[in-house]
Structure 1
Amino acid sequence: MPQELRKLMKLRELNLSHNKLVGPIPSSFQSMAGLMSLDLSYNYLEGLIPESHFFQAAPLQWFTHNKGLCGQVHGLPPCYQSWSASKGDEEKQHKIIILIVSLICGILLILFLIIGICALLYCKKKRSTANDTSEEFDGHFFSIWRVSHGKETYKEIIRVTENFDEKYQIGTGACSIVYKATLSSRLTLAIKKIKIEVQMNEEAFRNEIQVLTEIRHRNIVRFYGFCSTNEFNFLAYEYMERGSLGTNLRSEQGAMELDWIKRVRIVRDIAQALSYLHHDCNPSIVHRDITSNNILLNEEYKACVADFGISRLLKPNSSHWSLLAGTYGYMAPELAYVMRVTEKCDVYSFGIVALEVIHGTHPGDLLSNISLSMLVKDMLDSRLPLHNTDQVTTNQVLLVILIAMQCINTIPQARPTMLEVSQRLSSPKALPTSNNHSYQALTLNHLVNIV
């Protein structure tokens, strides 16, 4: 390297690396006052790095077989990590790199351990909260939503029903018994106690919880929560003061109180609930057991769909094949040979319930003897005269009959959707009945052909 380099007094950086230079390192670098960085790496030089006011003292001996040299400004970090003067120093570099990598891995491992411990503590806390009551009652109790704390509510339900005494029963079924429980908050609940002797009842219990926790509609019975212990299972619902639609229709007094305006409104409520299940839920929900006994009425005769024990979620890309389930007399006829669940099954059941509301009893006798020549007035509840009703209400009753007949079509594809049914019932149009077809002489054939 030429001595003339010392004349470059204003030179700040000098990089002579990778030039295969040989010989001693010139001492003239000491007089280069402006030099801040000197790189002589990957040459074959020998001697000492010159000491000056801008170099950190580094008396490293270099030999011709060595590669790697880097000058350094006093007090600043080295510009390269290639300071080794022998193969032993190269190994030291590798050890340093391995140490750094190991340190990073260790830090990451510690972070993962901390996250794992936090997650375990969180889950343990949730389990301890959930088991706070289960330890006492030897089971699992889940809080009743919007009522109060689960443990206290459980105790209160047991207390106010006197451990489910018979005098608090308000209904019975094949799989359950329903009790009335009025809490200290003045909230009245319907407690549906599931019979746990049969495994199918346990499956229905869990299925109803899954469905009801995901839906909410003014015409679907409100679900507050559930309890599961080794002794029994029960579900807590909104209490519906007037009981089931079927019970009211079978009672002479109840049927008389259900005037035609209330009956049309009840049919409309059921249609809106099913339209919500079929068209507003994702995935769609098929109830599979729409009957008059599973429609509940509150004090103002608002109708709510209940009992989702055998309902099905219609998930995409699924065949929806199923065992025969439902209530005889309300099941769609295609289920007997197809066994495939679709929304059209609920549409058929709705049609049967709508006719039951109009006829006053299950329309089985009508369906077995139905003909187009049948008078429409013979399809009405004889306990409730229609001829004294105003024309608007009469038209709405006739519209319910017309829609119900379309819903019970034996061809599933020919049935309307529940969305179409709900829209037609919500915005009824006057039926074009003529003077030649008065109400008393109106046949089913004329009604079916009305567009």
Structure 2
Amino acid sequence: MKLLLLIPIWVFSFPLFIAFTEARPEPLISSISGPVLSPESKPISPISATLKAVAPGLQENRVEEHQGLDKKMLIPLVVASTVLCAIILSLFCFWIYRKSNSRNFDPKSKQSSGLTLGKFNSLRMTGKKGSVSVIEYHLLESATNNFKESNILGEGGFGCVYKARFDDNFLAAVKRLDSGRQDAEREFENEVDLLSKIRHSNIVSLLGYCINGDTRFLVYELMQNGSVETQLHGPSHGSALTWHLRMKIALDAARGLEYLHENCNPPMIHRDIKSSNILLDSNFNAKLSDFGLAVIAGAQNKNNIKLSGTLGYVAPEYLLDGKLTDKSDVYAFGVVLLELLIGRKPVEKMAPAQCQSIVTWAMPQLTDRSKLPNIVDPVIRNTMDLKHLYQVAAIAVLCVQPEPSYRPLITDVLHSLTPLVPVRLGGALRVAEPAPSAGPNPSSH
């Protein structure tokens, strides 16, 4: 693309060169006779012979005059060529300079600049953080209406997430990280580094980031239906999530985890799987998010990694001994599966100084087929095949086993869930489409 800048120079200089060449005067003798011959050659035209007889020396004078004009024309041509070469050389050096600067660009500058946000493709960063779009701060201000409170989609320990509307009504989610929070910078860099390398349908896409002073911003694809936590424990209390949708969400989350554990090179441990970090798009496709705590499998030990996670989801061996493996993610996934099944939060306050874990409360009833239907979320109770309910309960029980070696691999969980999800939702279950009705049919099971 840079070399295209040279085209106007050649277009400009070519007519100039033609003008110089056409300005050369034709010798008078050529209008009367053929081409000028060498001094030793004799004229072959009678008219030339006549001219030579009438005016000896006239031809030699004109040839000398023609040679003088050639020398005069040669000087401007040399000057023009020199100027042209200098311009080309300058443009080439400028191109090399710009290319070198783009490679050495530091994304931690006081305020990142770059992308004029069309479709997040105008500028791509390359370096240790992979390929990530850098978004100018003023574009985020404009898209969020100066981070207006009415645009807040969610809030957590990290800060707030805002709905952003860019040009052409392009919607995205902007997470503003709390600069005063401990480890915020490390988690920001970790998320940008990891998500810039990951592309999977069940992992949320990082569209770009922005650094403005001490504040960090992450821009993601917009997930219109929020998080699993919001759907289950928010104002709707799970009313939008049917049994089949809940199984689809579990299947999608398992696929995302399998990608991290089995397909990433090197494998990754998410370390913060929970219902608030599983997001839902407009079609209730589930995607894993928030990779600030994620680590490379095998690179962690008690000495170099800080104990992190969310109460209720942290595996006991990690909490007590600091032992972190992919089975720690499987435990957290099992807790989310219990949330989808029972509709309760992972930890509930029973008294001012007493809390109860969903695992501790549900475990005795999950293995008792007579009691199991009674603890299922009332929104979906009596809407599923009981055999499927028993299977899901068995999967959850295995995932939350205290001993990591007793827990299945996430690939095994995935294979167990796939037959329970209808084909139209991405599973392998073939079900007849139900006839239109005013509500669920309790006798369908």
Specify the TM-score bucket, using the shorter chain as the normaliser.
Answer: 0.5 to 0.7
Q: How far apart are 1:175 and its partner, in Å?
A: 1.4
Structure 2 counterpart of 1:415 = 407
- Is residue 301–residue 322 contact of structure 2 (8 Å, CA) maintained in 1? no
Q: How far apart are 1:212 and its partner, in Å?
A: 0.4
Q: Percent identity?
A: 30
Matches within 5 A, 1:347-426: 347-364=330-347, 365=356, 366-369=358-361, 370-371=363-364, 372-373=367-368, 375-386=371-382, 388-389=383-384, 391=385, 394-426=386-418
Structure 1 counterpart of 2:112 = 140
Q: Distance in 2 between matches of 1:235 and 1:156?
A: 13
Q: How far apart are 1:384 and its partner, in Å?
A: 2.6
- Choose the corresponding residue for 2:324, options 341, 362, 387: 341
Q: Which amino acid aligns with 1:147?
A: F
Structure 2 counterpart of 1:294 = 277
Q: Deviations over 1:301-352 (max 9, x none)?
A: 1111111111111256x64753210000000011122212210000000000
Q: Deviations over 1:71-100 (max 9, x none)?
A: xxxxxxxxxxxxxxxxxxxxxxxxxxxxxx
Structure 2 counterpart of 1:123 = 100
Matches within 5 A, 1:80-91: none
Structure 1 counterpart of 2:233 = 250
Q: How far apart are 1:199 and its partner, in Å?
A: 4.1
User: Against the structure 1 CA distance between its residues 127 and 410, is the aligned structure 2 distance closer, same or farther, given a 3 Å change threshold?
Assistant: same
Q: Distance in 1 between matches of 2:100 and 2:312?
A: 48
User: Against the structure 1 CA distance between its residues 216 and 159, is the aligned structure 2 distance closer, same or farther, given a 3 Å change threshold?
Assistant: same
TM-score, structure 1 length as denominator?
0.62
Secondary structure in structure 1 of the residue aligned to 2:387: helix
User: Against the structure 1 CA distance between its residues 333 and 119, is the aligned structure 2 distance closer, same or farther, given a 3 Å change threshold?
Assistant: farther
- Choose the corresponding residue for 1:280, options 244, 256, 263: 263
Structure 2 counterpart of 1:214 = 197
Secondary structure in structure 2 of the residue aligned to 1:227: strand
Q: Which amino acid aligns with 1:378?
A: N
Secondary structure in structure 2 of the residue aligned to 1:256: coil
| Off by >6 Å, runs of 4+ in structure 1 | 117-121
TM-score, structure 2 length as denominator?
0.63
Secondary structure in structure 2 of the residue aligned to 1:282: coil
- Choose the corresponding residue for 2:287, options 304, 311, 320: 304
The answer to whether 1:223 aligns with 2:206 is yes
User: Against the structure 1 CA distance between its residues 252 and 229, is the aligned structure 2 distance closer, same or farther, given a 3 Å change threshold?
Assistant: closer
Q: Distance in 1 between matches of 2:163 and 2:174?
A: 6
Matches within 5 A, 1:1-150: 122-127=99-104, 138-141=110-113, 143=115, 146-149=119-122
Q: Which amino acid aligns with 1:124?
A: N
Where does structure 1 lack aligned partners over 5 or more consecutive residues? Answer: 1-116, 431-438, 441-451
User: Against the structure 1 CA distance between its residues 319 and 335, is the aligned structure 2 distance closer, same or farther, given a 3 Å change threshold?
Assistant: closer
Q: How far apart are 1:153 and its partner, in Å?
A: 5.6
Q: Deviations over 1:87-146 (max 9, x none)?
A: xxxxxxxxxxxxxxxxxxxxxxxxxxxxxx998764224457x78x96xxx422464795
Higher relative contact order (CA 8 A, sep 6+): 2
- Is residue 168–residue 181 contact of structure 1 (8 Å, CA) maintained in 2? yes
- Is residue 269–residue 295 contact of structure 2 (8 Å, CA) maintained in 1? yes
Q: Distance in 2 between matches of 1:363 and 1:310?
A: 20
Q: How far apart are 1:228 and its partner, in Å?
A: 1.2
Q: Which amino acid aligns with 1:355?
A: L
Secondary structure in structure 2 of the residue aligned to 1:361: coil
Q: How far apart are 1:213 and its partner, in Å?
A: 0.7
Q: Distance in 1 between matches of 2:194 and 2:286?
A: 19
Q: Distance in 2 between matches of 1:245 and 1:198?
A: 25
Q: How far apart are 1:208 and its partner, in Å?
A: 0.6
- Is residue 176–residue 195 contact of structure 1 (8 Å, CA) maintained in 2? yes
Secondary structure in structure 1 of the residue aligned to 2:337: helix
- Is residue 194–residue 291 contact of structure 2 (8 Å, CA) maintained in 1? yes
* Aligned pairs, number: 307
Q: How far apart are 1:170 and its partner, in Å?
A: 1.1
Q: Distance in 2 between matches of 1:248 and 1:266?
A: 12
The answer to whether 1:202 aligns with 2:182 is no
Secondary structure in structure 2 of the residue aligned to 1:340: coil
- Is residue 113–residue 135 contact of structure 2 (8 Å, CA) maintained in 1? no
- Is residue 114–residue 136 contact of structure 2 (8 Å, CA) maintained in 1? no
Q: Distance in 1 between matches of 2:248 and 2:208?
A: 29
User: Against the structure 1 CA distance between its residues 145 and 334, is the aligned structure 2 distance closer, same or farther, given a 3 Å change threshold?
Assistant: farther
User: Against the structure 1 CA distance between its residues 363 and 201, is the aligned structure 2 distance closer, same or farther, given a 3 Å change threshold?
Assistant: closer
Q: Deviations over 1:51-83 (max 9, x none)?
A: xxxxxxxxxxxxxxxxxxxxxxxxxxxxxxxxx
User: Against the structure 1 CA distance between its residues 141 and 152, is the aligned structure 2 distance closer, same or farther, given a 3 Å change threshold?
Assistant: closer
Structure 2 counterpart of 1:234 = 217
Q: Deviations over 1:143-173 (max 9, x none)?
A: 4795244677643321121221222111111
Secondary structure in structure 2 of the residue aligned to 1:255: coil
Secondary structure in structure 2 of the residue aligned to 1:337: helix
Secondary structure in structure 2 of the residue aligned to 1:139: coil
User: Against the structure 1 CA distance between its residues 334 and 245, is the aligned structure 2 distance closer, same or farther, given a 3 Å change threshold?
Assistant: same
Where does structure 2 lack aligned partners over 5 or more consecutive residues? Answer: 1-93, 124-133, 348-355, 421-427, 430-441
Q: How far apart are 1:363 and its partner, in Å?
A: 4.8
- Is residue 227–residue 279 contact of structure 2 (8 Å, CA) maintained in 1? yes
The answer to whether 1:171 aligns with 2:163 is no
